[in-house]
Amino acid sequence: MPIKLSIQNSKKSTSTKNYLQNELNTLIKENDLIFDFVQKAALDGLWFWDLEDPENEWMDDKFWTVLGYDPKVMPHKSSAWQDIINQEDLALAMENANRHLHDPSYSYDQVVRYTHKLGHTLWIQCRGLVIRNAEGKPVRMLGAHTDITKLKKVEFELQRQLQRYEHIIEGSNIGTWEWDLKTDEVIFNEGWARMIGYTLIELRPLSMDTWLNGMEPIDVKKFRSKLKTSLQSCEATFEFETRVRHKNGSYIWFLDRGKVMSWDKEGNPERMIGSRQEITESKKNIERYRAFIEQAPSALAMFDLDMCYLAASRQWFTDYDIHEEDIIGKSHYEVFSHISEEWKEQHRRCLEGEILKSKEDKFYKKDGSVQWLSWEMKPWFTDTMKIGGIIMHVSDITELKQIEHANQQKQTFLEAILDSIEVGIVSCDQSGTLTLFNKTTKNWHGLPPEVLPTSELSGYYGLFKPDGKTPLETEEIPLLRTLKNGSLEADEIIIKPNEGFKRYVSVNGSQLRSLDGEIFGAVVAMHDITERKNTEEKLRISEETFRANFENAAIGMAISNCQYQWIEVNEAFSEIVGYTISELQAMTFKDITHEDDLALDLQLLNELTEGIRTHYHMEKRYIHKEGYSVHVILAVSLVRDSEGSPLFFVSQIIDISPRIEAKNRMLSTLAELKILRDSNTQVGIIGLDKKGAITSFNKGAENLLGYSFEEIEGTSVVDFYRKEELKKRSNELYESHKEQYIDFDVLTALSTDEIGDTSEWEYVRKDRSTFSAQSTLTILKDEFNISGYLLVITDVSEIKKVEGRLKSLLEVAEDQNKRLKNFAYIVSHNLRSHSGNFSMLLNLFHKEFPEFSDNEILKLFKNASDSLAETIGHLSEVVVMSASVDQNLNKINLSKIVNSVLQGVLSSASENNVKIKVTVPKDMEVLALPAYLESIVLNLTTNAIKYRRPTCQSTVSISATKKDGFVVISFADNGLGIDLNRNRSKLFKMYKTFHKHEDARGIGLFITKNQIEALGGKITVESEVNKGSNFKVYLRYIA
């Protein structure tokens, strides 16, 4: 419906606004159509044109700001924008505007190009709406601008991207396929066929059978199963490695990948696309993907005023599928009876003088199919300059439109291919700027592509030479080398991203060229060969390790062929049999095998060859070069080739002759020991199983206990012990171990692997009489497990009697000791008096004769005097302590004593690599005797050094703190430690040792404990085997 405008002297309005602006505001308020038009179309500018005075045109501010101009200085004149619009577009705009003015049904909507003030081009979609007066005459035209520059750039970029993807596919050497699962039709690219030596023409007709027929038969079943599983999976992706027969008869390995791209309404897959990649030599050999776009030629026809044909080109017939040979003189509407009214209207307009054209338009054929046309119609004139008809120039662009649609699909398809392959694809333009990073490359580098100078690419993406240490120089980067040199094959580099794994890659590359041969970039394909490199390195190390082990093995090793001839032998085997290596290589193993062992050896070899066994072990004898037998353990395995045929035997030979000799000597010794055991009539030797049942009983045991072996075989040894004594020992064990022991466990509780338990027991004879005996219970082990015990008992009744006599002698000794103490008092007192006099006389002599102060003899007298005084002082302390320690304790600086003692043991600590750390406050004092305190510190420190653990860095830490009225001195080490569960009760007893050390006497801790208790203190210990000990000494101090 035409829009009417009532004009009432608007040009003479007193408003400060432009009269056109005022009119527009009124229209917007009064007319919903105008309002809707402005709302929907005026995104980037609005104009209102006075058709009665065409120079007057009002433009809103946004009209000019979008074009880069200041609206305050720009006039509201139509001429103001006509210099910055593309002149071709201007002409077409004016034509369309005229058509719109004459025919309101013809919409004014077109894209024009403006030149921005800064010089670049803006693409503007211009829409217009004519406004008529009451008589229907066009008087105003309202227009709206929308900036579509970005859309146009995207459109252009899409075309460039499509071309780039095409070239990338070509440069990446990839085969592609598309499979219609409904029709079973398979479309392969030429590269797919070329990989196996054919052309697509040779392979026709193309179907799934084309694919399967070339496969190795054994792979077909696997392929179908894999494909079925993939199609049923949620992701519907497919990946399969297969062997395909080349035209030349050889087989090539390929990796096929695919993905379902569309499903039918029932959710079944209907179309799958994918790629094929050769993986035979880990080199990219994928055929370049090519897309051919065909440009349809144009057609030309000449018509008279009645639209009857005057002339037509042959291409017109072809493009319009016209089968009539002669159409001259016929009406165009007769030839195309289905032509639309829209086309007829365009013909009428052209016959009226308009020049019409369209870049693309739909034309519906008789069969209902769509034909896309690019066309132009112009009137032609007679000699009298009258219109004689029209000339129509038409180009069938249906194929181009189809290609455009296909290009969109191809782009999606190519992007899917590039992201689906596990090959890194990178491309650049002619300047070296990166233009493509596929998904695999992004994952490898952990980085997206960046616009960087080529000099920074190596450092940013972590590109290194094969040594993994030297960064690639700019000119060494494979992509840039390809851009410069044209191609690249199997170039190896290392990628070391800041985050992620180091990868070895093999790089192939080629330049990207346009159809006219101009280089516009380069592309490289990177294959991850990390696994292959690691395998090669492991193989090299394995071979070197095997060679080193073979040649330097402590045991004999030999390799022999299937004729039993030695190929290689090591030095150890040569020494075992006495022959040189060259002599052995000229022999077979049968030549030196003992005749009694040969048959079994050959039988086992045959079983090995026939696959009955994978290896065998046997004891056998070789004949030494000097003629004697050598006993060995032989282990043999068979190495086969890839077909399973035997290649050679690998033998390991261990010389066990010394073991055989030792075994014979052991049997002889055991026989002698049995004789010795049975001949001993005074010492009982009883063999026990793990539960204490008697398994052997010598003559001495029979004499002591009154039983014969036959009477007590298999009975428990516990029957020989008094129940009261077992109960007492059980209670003692519970106190020390906090664990209940009964029956035979009471006897074994204190026995260890290294030390048997020696104790004194009362034994019960057969006649129920008892006797005292010292018994030692020792563990017997078979390899690592306890197999039994050996009990040795000795009658100590007579010793007990002697012990009684010793007791009375001790009482006499005690009395004499008291007298000695009195003597010691007298001696120490008298010696102190004489020592003091001697020291005093020396001091008087020095004062009287100072010139003799440096006399060596007098110095020696002085030192001897001082030493004598110190010795007498210590003797006096001991004597006084023996009488009453408490009355003679003094405050002693603990730090000085510790440091003084450590001076004497530092050499021993250094020699044994023991680190000593002291954290004792310098002002800390304790109540003690110097001699006792020095002895305590010295004994505990040297014990820590002596019983260090050789397998680690040994440390001793001496520290002191105050707690509950005591100074607590800690001696902590990380040495061998003590099993307190077994040894706590006898830790401080005399002559008890807990480690097999040559200097162990079992007296140190006994003395230390007595000295500490004499000083009114106490000692505790925390210890764990193979972790260390911590002895804590508690001494009193004066607050």
Q: What is the arrangement of strands in the sheet containing 954-963, beginning at the earlier edge strand? A: 914-919, 954-963, 966-973, 1028-1036, 1018-1024
- 817: pLDDT confidence band, cut at 50, 70 and 90? low
Q: What is the mean pLDDT of residues 906-932?
A: 89
For residue range 322-372, what is the model confidence (pLDDT) as tens digits?
777 777 778 888 888 878 888 889 899 999 989 988 877 777 766 677 777
pLDDT of residue 332: 86
Task: Centre a 10 Å sphere on the Cβ of residue 920 and count the other Cβ atoms it contains.
Answer: 20
Domain CATH for 983: 3.30.565.10
For residue range 458-495, what is the model confidence (pLDDT) as tens digits?
888 888 998 888 999 988 899 889 888 888 888 889 88
For residue range 226-275, what is the model confidence (pLDDT) as tens digits?
888 877 776 678 888 888 888 888 888 888 888 888 888 888 888 888 88
Q: For 562, which DSSP code?
A: T
Q: Across 114-128, 383-397, 670-684, 729-743, which has the greatest mean pLDDT? A: 114-128
Burial state string for 338-374 with b = 16 or more CB within 10 A and e = fewer than 16 = ebeeebeebbebbbeebebeeeebebeeeeeeebbbb
- Domain identity same for 375 and 490: no
pLDDT of residue 309: 81
Domain-embedded: residue 1020? yes
- At residue 447, φ and ψ (nearest 5 deg) are -140, 145
Q: Three-state SS for 592?
A: helix
For residue range 543-568, what is the model confidence (pLDDT) as tens digits?
666 666 677 667 888 888 888 898 88
Cis ω on the peptide bond leading into residue 205 (within 30° of 0)? yes
Q: Structurally, how many domains does the chain consist of? A: 8
Which of 593 and 889 is assigned the larger pLDDT?
593
- Domain identity same for 224 and 340: no
- Domain identity same for 899 and 866: no
Domain CATH for 771: 3.30.450.20
- Domain identity same for 350 and 328: yes
pLDDT of residue 464: 92
- At residue 160, φ and ψ (nearest 5 deg) are -65, -40
Domain-embedded: residue 1007? yes
pTM above 0.85, yes or no: no
For residue range 389-416, what is the model confidence (pLDDT) as tens digits?
888 877 777 777 777 776 676 666 766 7
Domain-embedded: residue 547? no
pLDDT of residue 1002: 62
Task: Centre a 10 Å sphere on the Cβ of residue 1033 and count the other Cβ atoms it contains.
Answer: 25
Question: Is residue 824 predicted with pLDDT exceeding 60?
Answer: no
- Domain identity same for 160 and 270: yes
Last residue of a domain, one of 840, 865, 883: 883
Q: How far is Cα 216 from Cα 794, in angstroms, rounded to an integer?
A: 86
Domain-embedded: residue 417? no
Which residues are CB-contacts of 487 (< 8 A; sequence separation ≥ 6)? 509, 510, 511
Structure tokens belonging to residue 100? 């719109």
Average pLDDT, the chain: 79
- Domain identity same for 912 and 1000: yes
Query: Among 278, 285, 290, which Cα is nearest to 167's?
Result: 290
Task: Centre a 10 Å sphere on the Cβ of residue 73 and count the other Cβ atoms it contains.
Answer: 7
- Domain identity same for 894 and 879: no
Q: How far is Cα 518 from Cα 132, in angstroms, rounded to an integer?
A: 57
Query: Among 308, 360, 369, which Cα is nearest to 334's?
Result: 308
Q: For 686, which DSSP code?
A: E
- Domain identity same for 1017 and 896: yes
pLDDT of residue 915: 92
Q: What is the mean pLDDT of residues 100-110?
A: 86
Question: Is residue 149 predicted with pLDDT exceeding 80?
Answer: yes
Q: What is the mean pLDDT of residues 180-208?
A: 84
Structure tokens belonging to residue 825? 């008092």
Q: How far is Cα 35 from Cα 45, in angstroms, rounded to an integer?
A: 15
Report in angstroms the alpha-carbon separations of 803 from 398, 704, 761, 807: 128, 21, 16, 6
Which of 36 and 664 is assigned the larger pLDDT?
664
Beta-bridge mates of residue 353: none
Question: Is residue 772 predicted with pLDDT exceeding 80?
Answer: yes
Q: Residue 360: in which H helix or E strand, if any? A: strand 356-364
- 967: pLDDT confidence band, cut at 50, 70 and 90? very high
Q: Which sign, positive or negative, has the C-alpha torsion 494, 496, 497, 499?
A: positive
Last residue of a domain, one of 763, 795, 827: 795
Report strand pairing: 770-782 vs 57-59: unpaired
Domain-embedded: residue 667? no
pLDDT of residue 925: 92
- 308, exposed or middle or buried, with CB in 10 Å at 0-12, 13-18, 19+? middle
Domain-embedded: residue 223? yes
Q: Which domain holds residue 933?
A: 889-1036
Structure tokens belonging to residue 621? 């004898």
Angle at 957 between CA 956 and CA 961, to 5 degrees: 155
Q: How far is Cα 845 from Cα 855, in angstroms, rounded to an integer?
A: 12
For residue range 115-141, what is the model confidence (pLDDT) as tens digits?
999 999 999 888 888 888 888 889 888
Tell me the chain's radius of gyration from C-alpha atoms.
56
Q: How far is Cα 757 from Cα 144, in angstroms, rounded to an integer?
A: 112
| DSSP codes joined into one string, 240-264 | EEEEEE-TTS-EEEEEEEEEEEEE-
- Domain identity same for 361 and 254: no
Last residue of a domain, one of 222, 246, 278: 278
Q: For 477, which DSSP code?
A: -
- Domain identity same for 813 and 841: yes
Distance from first CA to last CA of the chain, Å, rounded? 117
pLDDT of residue 659: 80
- Domain identity same for 824 and 767: no
- 483, exposed or middle or buried, with CB in 10 Å at 0-12, 13-18, 19+? buried
Domain-embedded: residue 861? yes
H/E/C letters for each residue in 998-1038?
CCCCCCHHHHHHHHHHHCCCEEEEEEECCCEEEEEEEEECC
Q: Residue 411: in which H helix or E strand, if any? A: helix 398-420
The amino acid occupying position 847 is K
Question: Is residue 769 predicted with pLDDT exceeding 80?
Answer: yes
Answer whether 181's CB lies under 8 Å from 272's CB: yes
- Domain identity same for 525 and 427: yes
Q: What is the mean pLDDT of residues 731-742?
A: 83
Domain-embedded: residue 544? no
